[in-house]
Amino acid sequence: MAARLGARGRAGAGAGAARAAWRPAAAAVAAAAAAEPRAPAARLDDGAARELLAGVGAFILDCDGVVWRGDSVLPGVPETLAALRAAGKQLVFVTNNSTKSRAGYLGKFKSLGLDVKAEEIYSSSFAAAAYLQANKFPTDGSKKVYVVGEVGIGEELELAGIPYMGGPDDAGKTIDLSPGLRLDQDPDVGAVIVGFDRNINYHKIQYATLCIRENPGCEFIATNTDAVTHLTDAQEWAGNGSMVGAIKGSTQREPTVVGKPSSFMLDDVAQRFGLDKSEICMIGDRLDTDILFGQNGGLKTLLVLTGVTTEERLQSPENEIQPDLYAGGLKDLLPAATQ
């Protein structure tokens, strides 16, 4: 099974090289803040759009807030994606949401009527499996993964041939404290992956904590550390930062973050898709994940205002993250892409 992901080629060596460049999200944020202040972002006009398209061979696109919002495709997006493809641009759809696997996302793209190929999708659930593969996590059954998260992580681990436990199977478990009660973790758990989990509970927190604290060499991997997420369009909801924060609090350990803005994901994406970073533009709606992710990797960056970031927030004096360009939406690239 492990060969299925490796079949696309360079997963092992490339992602292994990527690991050396990995740094935690918090350190990346601090590094960006300490760097020279960047010039304020320029609004994308036709000239800037044409210049961008001339210099870029690939676009890495965040999904929610860029391609869709909730369950609605944003205006002009299908036409713009088609025009970018027709102009010969490689598209890669990247998401920090680990609740679905790449196959799950393909279903969402198709249900929204968007023509996207499975290999153009890169989710943080897949990044977690790719990270373990890159670091030669055993597939012979001698080690397994404990999952705090939803079905996406387990589906990707299965494709990678990596045994796992927890996840949806531990939903609804309760701890009924009685004298002498103890929970014993499996000593073969060699990694804990923490992703967004609507069914997180005290059993999962205790089990993950025991694995990380008691099993020698057990890795602590976070798919992402987003503070908030947009489960409904009525308000912001606590994101995977809250689940990761629970395990950080009890283990006093920092996780290896594999999603945006860590460099693992970018290095692995660039390697897998054969992209040179100098020819990539990152398009996203969040400053602290998408734009920082692009800037950490030396990519061009385009912020779109169809998601969580308002123009006011972008231009506020407190904001230290400036993209190269910003636009009202992805559709603003359409005129230049069809010229």
Q: Which residues bind Mg ion (CB under 5 A)?
A: 62, 64-65, 285, 307
Q: Are strands 72-73 and 68-69 parallel, antiparallel or unpaired?
A: antiparallel
Q: Is 192 helix (H, G, I), strand (E, B) or coil?
A: strand
The number of C-alpha atoms within 13 Å of 316 and in the hemisphere containing its C-beta is: 8
Per the DSSP assignment, residues forming a β-bridge with 300 are 281
- Smallest distance from the beta carbon of 62 to Mg ion, in angstroms? 4
Nearer to Mg ion, 285 or 332 (CB): 285
- Smallest distance from the beta carbon of 147 to Mg ion, in angstroms? 23
- Smallest distance from the beta carbon of 309 to Mg ion, in angstroms? 9
CA-CA distance, 14 to 270, in Å (whole number)? 9
Answer yes or no: 62 catalytic: yes
* Cβ-closest position to Mg ion: 65
Q: What is the DSSP letter of 196?
A: -
Nearer to Mg ion, 65 or 190 (CB): 65
Q: What is the DSSP letter of 169?
A: G
Nearer to Mg ion, 155 or 290 (CB): 290
CA-CA distance, 155 to 103, in Å (whole number)? 9
Q: In the structure encoding, which two tokens stand for residue 168, read together? A: 């949806």
Q: Are strands 58-62 and 280-284 parallel, antiparallel or unpaired?
A: parallel
Length of the chain equals: 339
Q: CB of 114 within 8 A of CB of 73?
A: yes
Nearer to Mg ion, 62 or 120 (CB): 62
- Smallest distance from the beta carbon of 229 to Mg ion, in angstroms? 9
Catalytic residue among 64, 197, 268, 288: 64
Q: CB of 153 within 8 A of CB of 98?
A: yes
- Smallest distance from the beta carbon of 60 to Mg ion, in angstroms? 12
Answer yes or no: 197 catalytic: no
Catalytic residue among 62, 197, 226, 288: 62
Q: Are strands 228-232 and 235-238 parallel, antiparallel or unpaired?
A: antiparallel
Nearer to Mg ion, 64 or 267 (CB): 64
Active site residues: 62, 64
